[in-house]
A and B are shown apart, each in its own frame.
Chain A
């Protein structure tokens, strides 16, 4: 074996890569619960790609055959139901994991200098993920797929000057149809996954350049031992490889519980309105997006003006991009030492959860005031942060890591 590895090393930096990224890459020793979700996101990505390939073996991207091909997978293909449910469960799990991963960033200031670029790359990954989910959702061509497809492609029409032309590019016809399904399949299977894969590699390269942040928000590379390694650091392999394998085990148990016992999660993971074929002549009584896009949908509906609503939606998605420059607390990164910032994050998360719930309800005037309040709180988080972060009471940050 060692001669084989020596042969490879002469021709490809195998041992060097393993050493630099795993066995001699030092990570903070105090990673907690919030630090599982990066590796879990990668794992769920792998599940989606693999199950996706085997679904693609049977899917037919035409308006008259798409819905039927999904039923063929569910009823006739051996184990088709398992592969399909794994893929839909994986889509929702991907967002759960990614949202928790993002929340970790907020809590511990992982976006702060010198990790701004890491944050930006992650942000672009999030945008790609939303696009991937959208394209994928249209493909089964149920009635919700159809009308969700129509609604989102019309939002593109709000872009000035080129909006209508872009909509025709997206749809490939007068409305959603076979042309749309074909191109959405190309985007969902090839374009966006390739982008995501590349972005994840770049994301990890950026991470390894700066090293990881940690729950105390202090830089472990500031304190090196006699061997030149951070004294509060531990090599990624074997410590975090072993811990992440355990994390995968827990995720798989939850994943299997859903797939085997509640695959639609009572309409949350697969909506009941998508169990009827696309019908251009009949909209469902309530068009709501999947749960992971629901907060933005609630924001859109909270604004009575169409163009203004779309602008607000766009701004709401974009504003977290600027977080590294809005947070101006020079004394600490982590909420462990910033109770006020922790309070702000709790309010932000609560607002998003409420908006998410509102976004899944049928449109109702009674829900407008709470939606608007939460929308205001959302933006207030970002707009007040530059001021609050400069004056907020900050506890003294320790010299060494706390476990």
Chain B
């Protein structure tokens, strides 16, 4: 059934004219480049769709009431599955912050463990309110709140003490010298809302390290 007909052979794509060859190469390359750009353009939305979506962002902030925290008391809230402690510091507590400078590893907050507005002796926006991520910078345990003078040891003025490996911090979360923990505890980004009756915790300060 197969006739051998030599009168009109199939065109040979390997032997086009010279002008055509140049044009063809240019067009093939151009099509290829545009095609790759198109595929890249399609890939970008697909990959980015895997980033945390807006509903996750909504769950990323926590609002805490301040009205039920009496002077000297604290409340620890869950923020992005991390504990954030809010301490209503008394004037006596605030007075201890200047007395311990010699014992602290980083009393002037040189290491950026806090947003710029918390780079002060209180490590907060308002002196009486400490808002801090209650995670020990050594190996991520949750330190105990020890506000009572003399509780941890006779010279104790008040602060935080971590039961795991014995790191200590003052009432602004600044770490003591000669303890395992290397840095002050992190202060998150936060703001007061509703005329100061609530605090809204939004994000980690990008330069800070948790533990």
Q: Does B31 contact A (CB under 8 A)?
A: yes
Q: Is the CB of B9 within 8 A of A226?
A: yes
CA gap between A58 and B52 in the complex, in Å: 11
Interface residues of A in 29-54 (CB under 8 A from B): 29, 50-51, 54
- Residues of chain B contacted by A58 (CB below 8 angstroms): 49, 53
Q: Is the CB of B55 within 8 A of A222?
A: no
Residue of A nearest to B3 (CB): A223
Q: Is the CB of A226 within 8 A of B50?
A: no
Interface of A, secondary structure class, is mixed
Distance to closest chain B CB from A236 (angstroms): 11
CA gap between A245 and B35 in the complex, in Å: 10
Interface residues on B, range: 20 to 34
Residue of B nearest to A227 (CB): B9
- Residues of chain B contacted by A234 (CB below 8 angstroms): 10-11, 13
Q: Does B23 contact A (CB under 8 A)?
A: no
Q: Is the CB of A230 within 8 A of B10?
A: yes
Q: Is the CB of A231 within 8 A of B5?
A: yes
Residue of A nearest to B43 (CB): A50
Residue among B5, B49, B53 making CB contact with A54, cutoff 8 Å:
B49
Interface core residue of B10, B31, B53 (most chain A CB under 10 Å) = B10
- Residues of chain B contacted by A72 (CB below 8 angstroms): 53, 55
Q: Does A268 contact B (CB under 8 A)?
A: no
- Residues of chain A contacted by B2 (CB below 8 angstroms): 221-224
Distance to closest chain A CB from B211 (angstroms): 30
Q: Is the CB of A224 within 8 A of B4?
A: yes
- Residues of chain A contacted by B53 (CB below 8 angstroms): 58, 72, 76-78, 80
Interface of B, secondary structure class, is loop
Q: Is the CB of A245 within 8 A of B31?
A: yes
Distance to closest chain B CB from A30 (angstroms): 13
Interface residues of B in 54-103 (CB under 8 A from A): 54-56
- Residues of chain A contacted by B13 (CB below 8 angstroms): 234-235, 238-239
Q: Does A115 contact B (CB under 8 A)?
A: no
The number of residues on chain A lying at the interface, defined by a beta carbon within 8 Å of a beta carbon of chain B, is 35
Q: Does B19 contact A (CB under 8 A)?
A: no
- The proximity string for B residues 28-60 relative to A, scoring 1 for CB distances below 8 Å and 0 otherwise, is 000100010000000001101111011110000
- Residues of chain A contacted by B153 (CB below 8 angstroms): none
Q: Is the CB of B8 within 8 A of A79?
A: no
CA gap between A318 and B206 in the complex, in Å: 64
- The proximity string for A residues 388-403 relative to B, scoring 1 for CB distances below 8 Å and 0 otherwise, is 0000000000001000
Q: Does A57 contact B (CB under 8 A)?
A: yes
Interface residues of A in 66-84 (CB under 8 A from B): 72, 75-80, 82-83
Residue among A75, A77, A225, A232 making CB contact with B6, cutoff 8 Å:
A225
CA gap between A373 and B58 in the complex, in Å: 58
Q: Is the CB of A78 within 8 A of B49?
A: yes
Distance to closest chain A CB from B23 (angstroms): 13
Known: A75-B54, A76-B54, A245-B31. A225 touches B9 (CB 8 A): yes
Residue among A219, A221, A229, A245 making CB contact with B10, cutoff 8 Å:
A229
- Residues of chain B contacted by A75 (CB below 8 angstroms): 54
- Residues of chain A contacted by B50 (CB below 8 angstroms): 54, 57
- The proximity string for B residues 134-162 relative to A, scoring 1 for CB distances below 8 Å and 0 otherwise, is 00000000000000000000000000000
- The proximity string for A residues 76-104 relative to B, scoring 1 for CB distances below 8 Å and 0 otherwise, is 11111011000000000000000000000
- Residues of chain B contacted by A400 (CB below 8 angstroms): 8
Q: Does B1 contact A (CB under 8 A)?
A: yes
Q: Is the CB of A83 within 8 A of B3?
A: no
Distance to closest chain B CB from A49 (angstroms): 12
Residue among B8, B35, B48 making CB contact with A231, cutoff 8 Å:
B8
- The proximity string for A residues 235-246 relative to B, scoring 1 for CB distances below 8 Å and 0 otherwise, is 100110000010
Known: A76-B55, A231-B5, A245-B31. A225 touches B10 (CB 8 A): yes
Q: Is the CB of B10 within 8 A of A231?
A: yes
Residue of A nearest to B48 (CB): A78
CA gap between A232 and B3 in the complex, in Å: 12
- Residues of chain A contacted by B48 (CB below 8 angstroms): 78-79
Interface residues of A in 3-61 (CB under 8 A from B): 26, 29, 50-51, 54, 57-58
Distance to closest chain A CB from B80 (angstroms): 17
- Residues of chain B contacted by A219 (CB below 8 angstroms): 1
- Residues of chain A contacted by B35 (CB below 8 angstroms): 245
CA gap between A86 and B158 in the complex, in Å: 61
Q: Does A233 contact B (CB under 8 A)?
A: yes
CA gap between A245 and B30 in the complex, in Å: 13
CA gap between A82 and B35 in the complex, in Å: 20
Q: Is the CB of A225 within 8 A of B4?
A: yes
CA gap between A29 and B49 in the complex, in Å: 43
- Residues of chain A contacted by B10 (CB below 8 angstroms): 26, 29, 225, 227, 229-235
Instruction: Report 21 cross-chain contacts, Cβ distance below 8 Å, ordered by A residue.
Output: A54-B46, A54-B49, A72-B53, A75-B54, A76-B56, A82-B45, A83-B46, A83-B49, A222-B2, A223-B2, A223-B3, A224-B2, A225-B5, A225-B9, A227-B10, A231-B5, A231-B7, A231-B8, A231-B10, A234-B11, A400-B8
Extra A-B contacts (14), CB below 8 Å, given A50-B46, A58-B53? A54-B46, A76-B53, A78-B45, A78-B48, A79-B49, A219-B1, A222-B2, A222-B3, A224-B2, A229-B10, A231-B5, A232-B10, A239-B13, A245-B35
